[in-house]
Amino acid sequence: MTFKSPSTGDPVPLSFIIPKTQDDLLKRRKALEITAEAHHGILGRTPDYVNIQVTATRQMAELHGHTDKRFGDNLIAYHENIRENDLSLTHCFGHPQVNRGVAVGQQPDPYIPIGVVDTTSEGIILRGAKLLATLAPFSDEIFVPPYRPLRGKEEEMYALGFAIPTATKGLSFICRESWDTGRSTYDQPLSSRFDEMDALAVFDDVLVPWDRVFCYGDVELHNHIVELGIMWRQYMQHVAVKNIAKLEFALGMTHAMVEAIGIGVHAHVQEKVAEIIDTTETVRSYLRAMEADAGPWMGEGIWLSPEPTIAMRHWAPDAYQRVTDIMQQLAAGGLMLTPTEADMESSIRPVIDKYFQGAKIGAYDRVRLFRLVWDFIGTQFGSRQILYERYFNGDVVRLRQGRFQTYDYSKADASLAKFWQETDQS
């Protein structure tokens, strides 16, 4: 879980390591696996996630300091600070969904998105809001990197990258309602234990000290950082590890359901379960390819191989939706046959034992299993999980549009050209 700090020699989390070799990536993956398997892939925003994002940004410190060396130096110092103190971070990217049909600078109020109000000798003063700060109530710091391209000088007030403590004066968080409603782990086995809160971060004339600023007022540099997509070139290892843990958990639940109600004899059921198996092993293959083909790119250290990383990023949201659809189809109406723990302890228990039992399982355990599946795919908590997996890594439509526009078609074009050449010569 740790490596030796390059500055103090003390043990520090492996999520802060700047990988120099494939072995470094393997060590980091093993640490990530311990955490992901502890929560069965349910928690997408454990602290190691943003740790890796900050570390990837730190690898590009020289780029951030291109026009002002202070900002690159700030990144180096900030990375060291959170590494040595093992701080927990949240982060936020998006702008409030007020009017998505116009540009950032064309909102009804210029300070709906975070913008610079003023600068002082102490730092920059910011006003506006950002989403979506998952884990904010449990975090020490908030990290806000450059996000989304900006249009020229008229939007330079939004060209920002910084990090500050979550307890900073003027910074507040508006959270959604909690889905841990105080029910037992029998009734709500997941939402009672794994509800990582989501929030809108609101900046009310917040002072960000200069030594916490990583990008400021340079639209060209801001857009270049966004275009490079620095962070996903590292954090997708975390995503893949989390996805494997989550898919293995989903497969375990699905297999248990199939056994519980005796539907494994049907060919279409076997086919659907095999699809979840194949999805799990596909992610495992993506992960190995990312690591095996990793190498130098820009900045310090090595980076995950881009092609399998991009492919998994674009494919995984639809794949997860398909897995939850399969679970729903196989469970069917059984998801509604879920008495509460209070019912189990009441006078109707003998009736429940008779009519809610399974082929190879008693009523108490069959209901507990199906309540777990429902919490995974059907409750508010489960619906949030599906929404998270679809959008946390970006809108797939936009991502694939970018893929179409930037992919190197040279090998594919050459293959077709070779075919036509061979055809003409035959």
Structural domain contains residue 243: yes
CATH number reported for the structural domain that contains residue 328 in this entry: 1.20.140.10
Of the pLDDT bands very low, low, confident and very high (cuts 50, 70, 90), residue 105 is: confident
Q: Are residues 162 and 131 in the same domain?
A: yes
Structural domain contains residue 25: no
Of the pLDDT bands very low, low, confident and very high (cuts 50, 70, 90), residue 147 is: confident
Higher pLDDT, 153 or 234: 234
Tell me the C-alpha distance between 91 and 162, whole Å: 10
Q: Are residues 181 and 272 in the same domain?
A: no
Q: Are residues 312 and 174 in the same domain?
A: no
Of the pLDDT bands very low, low, confident and very high (cuts 50, 70, 90), residue 103 is: confident
Structural domain contains residue 330: yes
- The average pLDDT across 104-114 equals 93
Q: Are residues 223 and 276 in the same domain?
A: no
Sign of torsion over alpha carbons 31, 230, 56, 161 = negative
CATH number reported for the structural domain that contains residue 174 in this entry: 2.40.110.10
Structural domain contains residue 102: yes
Structural domain contains residue 329: yes
Q: What total of structural domains would you count in the chain? A: 2
Q: Are residues 178 and 244 in the same domain?
A: no
Q: Are residues 236 and 224 in the same domain?
A: no
Domain with 395 in it: 232-408
pLDDT at residue 376 tops 90: yes
- The average pLDDT across 169-175 equals 98
- The average pLDDT across 131-155 equals 94
Structural domain contains residue 12: no
pLDDT at residue 55 tops 90: yes
Give the distance from CA 198 to its chain's centroid.
Answer: 13
Structural domain contains residue 421: no
* Chain mean pLDDT for the chain: 97
pLDDT at residue 101 tops 90: no
3-state SS, residue 87 = coil
Last residue of a domain, one of 228, 250, 272: 228
pLDDT at residue 100 tops 90: no
Q: Are residues 110 and 254 in the same domain?
A: no
Task: Please state whether beta strands 141-144 and 89-91 pair in parallel, antiparallel, or not at all (unpaired).
Answer: parallel
Last residue of a domain, one of 199, 228, 257: 228
Sign of torsion over alpha carbons 21, 23, 26, 32 = negative
What does the pLDDT look like over 193-218, one tens digit per residue?
999 999 999 999 999 999 999 999 99
pLDDT at residue 84 tops 90: yes
Tell me the C-alpha distance between 310 and 292, whole Å: 15
What does the pLDDT look like over 250-307, one tens digit per residue?
999 999 999 999 999 999 999 999 999 999 999 999 999 999 999 999 999 999 999 9
Sign of torsion over alpha carbons 90, 318, 191, 287 = negative
Q: Are residues 237 and 213 in the same domain?
A: no
